[in-house]
Chain A
Amino acid sequence: MILGLDVGGTQTDAVLIDAGRIAAAAKIPTSRDLLATLRTALEAVLSDVAPGGLERMAFSTTMTINAIVEDRLDPTGMIVSSGPGMDPAWFSVGPSYHVVEGCLDHQGFEAKPLDRTGVQNAASRIIKEGIRILGVVSKFSVRNPLLELQAAKWAGDAFSHVAMGHRVSGTLNFPRRIATTYLNAALYRIHKNFSDALVQILKEKGLNGPRYLLKPDGGTMDLDKSIQWPARTAQSGPAASVMGALALDGCKGETLVLDVGGTTTDMAVVMDGTPLLKPLGIRLGPYRTLIRSLLTHSMGIGGDSEVRMDPKGNLRIGPIRKGKPVALGGPAPTPTDAMIALDLLTVGHRNAAAAAMERLGAPAGWDAATTAERTLHTMAEAIAASAKAFIYNINSRPVYTIHEVLADRRIKPGSVLIIGGPAPQIAGYIEKALGLPSRFPRHYGVANAVGAAVARVTSEITLQADTQRGSVVIPEADVEQAIDQDFDMEQAIALGRTALCRQAAEIGAHENGLEICITEKQMFAMIRGYARTGRNIRLRMGIMPGLIPGWEIGG
């Protein structure tokens, strides 16, 4: 049996999957106390299950994102070395941010040695401020981790936790590397406390199987190993939904996935079973990061959004949610009330819903049914417009080779898959608004929890080999080796594969035969004057988001 649990902003969903079938599901309101919410949800879904029967548990949590949004991060010192370019002071984070001299160039050559005294002075000031958590970042550290390793060493051993920039991602982006390193450091203690408490709850309940946390890229990682990467656990909700859509439907062809929730609608594109990823990384509160994430877009319209009429007689929906629908005792009309008034949904007080619709449409002289009809139509139109803009933006992404320009590959979804509470009621309206066939899976209401339950471990590495400098670096995997002039693409792929598999196994990928995907592969001759002097190989490979082995689409 497999357990999946997704904590959302307003609701928490849990499912229990037995032999590929959903055996139990629970939906409870999310409370301020995340651990209490997890405990309640676990109890609700596991009431009939003998402990010990769980092969696997996976959770999505809101602990880290809440800490970011509510500004409850731990005081963290940062020591940063930059070099030519933008002023590093612009990227200052945390209460104690220090820039020291020292720089690498884009190839990773040391252009100016790191200022040892500068690092030591910065470290002692940080310590004097009572801070014991440190982040060290240097520009181009993904090409050569030397300066970060030196900074971490020279800062001394007074720190309880040190995060280094080159380990967070191999992607080039110094400001994001600073922010991501900072978050991993500043969330360390908070996440560790959460993880310890969750482990304690699981122990109490006798649940000893492998346990995972969901990441925003739609993959999972071992809960115990997540301590090093706390920021990777933030904002995995939209990913849970997309993985749920994948698990329940398969998403063949090019599919637009819509998760219509209470306050928001999230959208994503899945290409033949593989969801699209963001080019750089997710944004967490005010921080742009290098944390790999599914490409999703969230808009402020859901089943519980407030519906009002503007002075011109047009219906407006969202982004505000005033509370529950009127039919359930709420203060303002909502699309859910429209569904109830049209008898598409049987819940709460139908008369209250109809009266709310009637009042809403009165200024335009519409009756309840007309108003309700127009509400759902307007909602679907707004979602369709947002989805079209989302796809247009994906198709406007720059490309850098003649091949890509001429191929002019554009995304054009052939169908739309809808999940979330109102899926069956709104599907027909969205189908019409988008002009695409729509469908919803059987377990549309708990797709997110299913997604968390069956998402496999994902991982990614970036390799750069430079025979002129005589080195190959895989920053995420802590690999740095000397290479000779003959180092070629084949060797690079082999080395990358080994590092990736080791890294994936470390965070909980226990299956044999990992599906590895090469997402970037470039090789350039390096030339000085008119002669070849070396070779520059760039590789990016990863285990893409997907479902655990043995899972059969449908649930």
Chain B
Amino acid sequence: MLRASRRTGLVFFPAFDWAISPTHPEREERLLYTQDQVLEEGLLDVDGIIEYRVRPAAFEDIQRVHFCVPDEESVATESHLIAAGGCLVAADAVLRGEVKSAFALVRPPGHHAMRVVHGNRGFCNINNEAIMIEYIREQYGIRRVAIVDTDCHHGDGSQDIYWHDPDTLFISIHQDGRTLYPGSGFPREFGGPNAQGMTVNIPLPPQTGEEGFLYVLEELIMPLLEKFEPEIVINSAGQDNHFNDPITNMNFSARGYAALNARLKPDIAVLEGGYALENALPYVNVGIIMAMAGLDTSFVKEPNYERDYRPQRDDITQYIKDLVVRLRDMFLEGHLEKAACKEGLVIERSRDIYYDTDHIHERQHEKIRCCNTCSGALSIASTSNRGQHILAVLIPLGACKECRKTGLAWFEKAIRGAYTHVYLLDRVRGVYERT
């Protein structure tokens, strides 16, 4: 009988009764053909591949990560709660030791959802990975986490949530932001003052092929992980780098995804984007599941691979080599141009955020307290064109006394201010408040 050499958990939630809109790429049958292929392959009969039933996440799970404006009910539908809950089921399976690794094949995706949520950005409302990671930290006492985001779009939501966190290494490999939504994810975005070098962006040129992805993995991502020594590795497994994907321009393949997974060996993989639902997703997902389970993937190939896959062009190979040299120099050799971070200094930044799906314009003003012992107290003032004007304070997990004091003072001051809502997330005491 066929046996997985690594026990693998599978949480499958295709949400056959949910869509953003009837013709939107993120719609009911997005995982239908994946399900067809997975069932036809008989993957669930393989000894050591275990399918789990999803459960919805609770508002409490979201509140460890997000400030939802005006509240959770308004931004997260049942479908979002179940997708996030599917990730929690996957995390439990791995951390209880029932399986070696797990794959949450859930939708809708989450990696464009930022700390403050006014609505849907890039098909995402709440950040499935971040909700899962903070759950893991709370439930299982794990600290050092690495996220490798292999979606074709920059994981700007996850980057935002972990921007100041020195315990989370966030690596995003994506199509260059000059050519694709959301237009961010450049090497110079390498983390906030308290977590400099903990965000690593790897923008790859359009038409990057199998060779380029696997080269970056081997020469850059694996050494970064070795250096960081995470307790757990999460893969934000977007599948839109595929040569058949209709909304991106990359040249990756099912066998490439399988090879990437076999090498990266993430503890938990979470599905993100990927919209070639008929001619990429079924094969990519089968490849990922088989690779996670340690099965030979040499027969995993798109029916049109021979006809439509083009080997990577030489100029692209050269471009990627040069990029890797530059990024290795920055992140592995330590030649990062770090900003000064004097204990107690409060650094501020302002930015505009656009929610493409819901057409919301948000303006943020953020304050972070520089700290050498913790992630630092964080305050975000956020105004949207829907009339919301909120202020949110985060006292992070493991916050030092000073940061906690600063955070509480910001909160006290804000509740007397003219905000529609004021939020406090005190992870030290496990308290979430909203006025």
Q: Give A contacts to B, CB under 8 Å.
A: 82-88, 90-91, 103, 105-107, 111-112, 139-140, 171-176, 280, 286, 288, 396-403, 405-406, 522, 524-527, 529-532, 536
User: Which residues in B have their C-beta under 8 angstroms from that of A83?
Assistant: 303
B17 interface residue per 8 A CB criterion: yes
User: Which residues in B have their C-beta under 8 angstroms from that of A396?
Assistant: 52-53
Known: A86-B299, A87-B298, A107-B278. A173 touches B40 (CB 8 A): yes
Interface contact B53-A398, CB-CB below 8 Å:
yes
A106, B301: Cα distance in complex, Å: 13
Q: Give B contacts to A, CB under 8 Å.
A: 1-2, 11-18, 22-23, 27-29, 32-33, 35-37, 39-43, 45, 51-56, 78-79, 82, 246, 254, 278-279, 282-283, 286, 290, 295-296, 298-304
Interface contact A86-B246, CB-CB below 8 Å:
no
Please provide the 6 A-B residue pairs with the shortest distance between their CB atoms, ordered closest to farther: A111-B303, A175-B42, A524-B29, A172-B39, A172-B40, A106-B36
User: Which residues in B have their C-beta under 8 angstroms from that of A82?
Assistant: 299
With both chains docked as a complex, state the minimum distance between the C-beta of B166 and any C-beta of chain A, in angstroms.
36
Interface contact B45-A173, CB-CB below 8 Å:
yes
User: Which residues in A have their C-beta under 8 angstroms from that of B27?
Assistant: 527
Interface contact A140-B29, CB-CB below 8 Å:
no
A538, B302: Cα distance in complex, Å: 24
Interface contact A406-B78, CB-CB below 8 Å:
yes
A280, B41: Cα distance in complex, Å: 13
Within 8 Å by CB of B79, from A91, A112, A402, lies A402
Within 8 Å by CB of A401, from B16, B33, B37, lies B16
User: Which residues in B have their C-beta under 8 angstroms from that of A530?
Assistant: 23
Interface contact B22-A525, CB-CB below 8 Å:
yes
Interface contact A398-B52, CB-CB below 8 Å:
yes
User: Which residues in A have their C-beta under 8 angstroms from that of B304?
Assistant: 111
Interface contact A524-B32, CB-CB below 8 Å:
yes
Known: A402-B17, A402-B18, A402-B82. A84 touches B301 (CB 8 A): yes
A86, B4: Cα distance in complex, Å: 12
Interface contact B295-A86, CB-CB below 8 Å:
yes
- A89's nearest neighbour on chain B, judged by CB, is B299
Most B Cβ at <10 Å: residue of A172, A176, A522, A526: A172
With both chains docked as a complex, state the minimum distance between the C-beta of A65 and any C-beta of chain B, in angstroms.
19
User: Which residues in B have their C-beta under 8 angstroms from that of A526?
Assistant: 29
User: Which residues in B have their C-beta under 8 angstroms from that of A288?
Assistant: 45
- A141's nearest neighbour on chain B, judged by CB, is B40
Within 8 Å by CB of A400, from B13, B36, B278, B302, lies B13
A106, B303: Cα distance in complex, Å: 11
Within 8 Å by CB of A175, from B16, B45, B300, lies B45
A472, B12: Cα distance in complex, Å: 27
Interface contact B41-A174, CB-CB below 8 Å:
yes
- A85's nearest neighbour on chain B, judged by CB, is B41
Most A Cβ at <10 Å: residue of B42, B246, B254, B298: B42
* Extra contacts besides A83-B303, A402-B15 (19): CB < 8 Å: A84-B254, A84-B299, A85-B283, A86-B41, A105-B279, A105-B303, A172-B39, A172-B40, A173-B45, A176-B45, A280-B45, A399-B54, A400-B12, A400-B35, A403-B17, A405-B54, A522-B16, A525-B22, A536-B32
Known: A107-B278, A175-B45, A522-B16. A405 touches B36 (CB 8 A): no
Can you list 10 A-B contacts with CB-CB less than 8 angstroms, sorted by A residue number? A82-B299, A85-B40, A106-B37, A107-B278, A175-B42, A400-B15, A405-B82, A525-B22, A525-B23, A527-B27
Within 8 Å by CB of B78, from A86, A105, A111, A402, lies A402
User: Which residues in B have their C-beta under 8 angstroms from that of A91?
Assistant: 42
Interface contact B300-A405, CB-CB below 8 Å:
no
A531, B29: Cα distance in complex, Å: 14
A529, B247: Cα distance in complex, Å: 9
Within 8 Å by CB of B36, from A90, A172, A403, lies A172
Interface contact B23-A84, CB-CB below 8 Å:
no
- B18's nearest neighbour on chain A, judged by CB, is A402
With both chains docked as a complex, state the minimum distance between the C-beta of A222 and any C-beta of chain B, in angstroms.
31
A512, B247: Cα distance in complex, Å: 54
A448, B11: Cα distance in complex, Å: 39
Interface contact B42-A103, CB-CB below 8 Å:
no
Interface contact B37-A85, CB-CB below 8 Å:
yes
Interface contact B300-A84, CB-CB below 8 Å:
yes
A174, B304: Cα distance in complex, Å: 21
With both chains docked as a complex, state the minimum distance between the C-beta of A395 and any C-beta of chain B, in angstroms.
8
With both chains docked as a complex, state the minimum distance between the C-beta of A484 and any C-beta of chain B, in angstroms.
21
A74, B37: Cα distance in complex, Å: 32
With both chains docked as a complex, state the minimum distance between the C-beta of B80 and any C-beta of chain A, in angstroms.
10
- A408's nearest neighbour on chain B, judged by CB, is B55
User: Which residues in B have their C-beta under 8 angstroms from that of A103?
Assistant: 303
User: Which residues in B have their C-beta under 8 angstroms from that of A406?
Assistant: 56, 78
With both chains docked as a complex, state the minimum distance between the C-beta of A399 and any C-beta of chain B, in angstroms.
6
Interface contact B15-A401, CB-CB below 8 Å:
yes
Interface contact B23-A532, CB-CB below 8 Å:
yes
- B302's nearest neighbour on chain A, judged by CB, is A84
